[in-house]
Chains A and B, each alone.
Chain A
Amino acid sequence: MPLLDVKELSVNFSTKEGVHHVLKNVDLNINKGEIVGLIGESGSGKSTLAMTVLDINSRNREMSGNISFMEERIDNLKKERMRNIRGKHIGSVPQSSMNALDPLVKIRSQFFETIKAHTDMSRQEMLSLTARSLEMVGIDPLRMNSCPYEFSGGQRQRIMIALSMLLSPELIIADEPTTALDATVQLKITTLLKDVVQQKNTSMLVISHDLHTISRICDRIYIMYAGRIVETGTRDEILNDPVHPYTQKLLASRLPLMCEPVRVKGISGTPPSTLKKYEVCEFMERCDKVSDICRTVRPPECTGNVKVACHMECHLE
């Protein structure tokens, strides 16, 4: 039984402009001790998936499907119970987490706030727990009395990771943990995430648009496009043998580090609108390998044993 099991999850948001279909029939599972990557471009719904699991986007939301966590349905839990799970059992490193810390509140107080919300520790215990978790991410525990604005972006990111790990949750959801950081700092943060997961024996869902940066720490990868999982597999399968045209294009848009001038092609066209309901493959408008069947029949859903949501895959077999 996987730790987190998302089944047939569909999420719509009703707004003034109409109904946004953000997630469509998403199947995703995370086993214990695993690092799973969720990759997709802006607007593909990856953050919505994370927020739906944490239940922090319930406004105007309609959802269907199952989310189970530690063999418990969590998709329609009461607010109070969900609040217990968040922070204690599911830690979250939010997007642009550099700005997620209150800049004028001491690091120590922000850590204590989380501890107090979930446990009854004595002050001494809280201090030692805070010191230990800061040490783990390579921040001098003596600096716990500083305010976030005194730290650099990379340091704040590490503090945020320490904060999400504080109560040793079973699952950590890290939303774009390396975006907007320098290349050298990115390397440090990804290595840190991997170390932390190994030390604490937790699982992690890493969300990113940058397949290359994140893939080096993932065990398995899900590729998301327009609210659907289009391909899934182990890291080696995705990186060495991608099947879906979107995954292939993502991999090809990597900038090579070479002396000779070469041209790399990006993915042309624009991402599909979430307002429209597609009867056929969402990627068709930007795909070079469109065949007749693509125009008429929906490709298979990426659920169960199906690993690629593309007709191409069926033809190969």
Chain B
Amino acid sequence: MDNSCLIKIDNVSKVFKRKGMFRNEPEVKALDNVSLTVKKGEVLGIIGESGSGKTTLGKLILGLLKPGSGNISFADIDNSSSQNGKPIVQVIFQDPYDSLSHMMTVEQLVAEPCIIQNRKNFDRNRIVLALESVGLTPVESFLHKYPHTLSGGQRQRVAIARAMITEPDMIIADEPISMLDASIGVDILNLMLDMKERTGITFMFITHDIAAAAYISDNIAVMKEGKIVEYGSREQIISDCCHEYTKSLLLSASTGTFNNTSFDDK
């Protein structure tokens, strides 16, 4: 594996067997021979409709699911000697209203990954720095708040601080802005871009919104029915895509622009 590559996914398939109570239901092939490499320091966008297997792919990389066949290998890391338990992958979930415990304060929420990593010792300054870096300032006023008192955008920032604090090599962001207002979603995307520039972290950005993926990603993979139907740089996908599905996605995104008034006439 060459140096620029962080994660290599090789012919991975995942089949979900549904066990009915009385009859055997058909199998669902969530991923079908997917191969993909994630390069160091890039933002990789994964676009696809619901049920195309994009979240399954994220869960496989996180190790929340085991692949049915195929390999997922991480660059130059053997799991046996991983230094001080530094994690490779962290995650930001879709719904900030459900992904943060309602019983914990912001401080406890952000400290939790540190406590798990370092077995109970953690540096309070790191929490302050992490919250500062996601723009939750003044930090003191946020430390003792509970998630239900925060807005959706602020909650998603706490989720990002939680993911960033253990300094992972890569963050998987699973639809981080689909639950947020458009104007707040842009702020979250800008925050992710800033973090990438500052720390060189790798992002995998899972979304159904091609405009958001095009805004943030260096490379884009388009998924449909468990397969990657198209992969390329942002420029290639947007100006020069080949697959019908990508074209239909682009079309549905661009008819939304307000300059196009011809929509009414159709």
Contact = CB atoms under 8 A, between A and B. Distances in A.
Contacts of B210: 183, 257
A180 B151 CA distance: 18
Contact of A212 (B190, B215, B235, B257): B257
Interface in A254-293: 254-259, 263-268, 270-271
A247 to B, nearest CB: 11
Interface string A212-231: 11011000000000000000
A255 B182 CA distance: 9
B215 A264 contact: yes
Interface in B131-182: 151-154, 178-179, 181-182
Contacts of B189: 255
B190 A257 contact: no
B182 A210 contact: yes
Looking at B238, B253, B264, which has the most chain A CB atoms within 10 Å of its CB? B253
A56 B168 CA distance: 48
A264 to B, nearest CB: 5
A152 interface: yes
Interface string B171-201: 0000000110111111101100100000000
Per DSSP, chain A at the interface is loop
> In which size bucket is the chain A interface?
35 or more
B168 to A, nearest CB: 24
Contacts of B256: 187, 212-213, 216
Given A251-B258, A266-B183, A267-B187, 6 more contacts: A182-B208, A183-B249, A256-B215, A257-B253, A259-B239, A270-B154
A184 B249 contact: yes
Interface string B244-259: 0000111011111110
A82 to B, nearest CB: 31
Contacts of B184: 41, 266-267
27 contacts: A180-B178, A182-B208, A183-B209, A183-B249, A186-B252, A187-B252, A209-B181, A209-B182, A210-B182, A212-B256, A215-B258, A216-B256, A253-B182, A254-B211, A256-B211, A257-B214, A257-B253, A258-B238, A259-B234, A259-B235, A259-B238, A266-B184, A266-B187, A266-B190, A268-B187, A270-B151, A270-B153
B7 interface: no
A243 to B, nearest CB: 16
Contacts of A259: 234-235, 238-239
Contacts of B254: 257
Looking at B189, B208, B258, B264, which has the most chain A CB atoms within 10 Å of its CB? B258
Nearest to B260: A216
Nearest to B208: A182
B49 A43 contact: no
Nearest to B235: A259
A153 interface: yes
Nearest to B256: A212
B181 A183 contact: no
A272 to B, nearest CB: 11
B263 interface: yes
Contacts of A42: 151-152, 181
A271 B151 contact: yes
B190 A153 contact: no
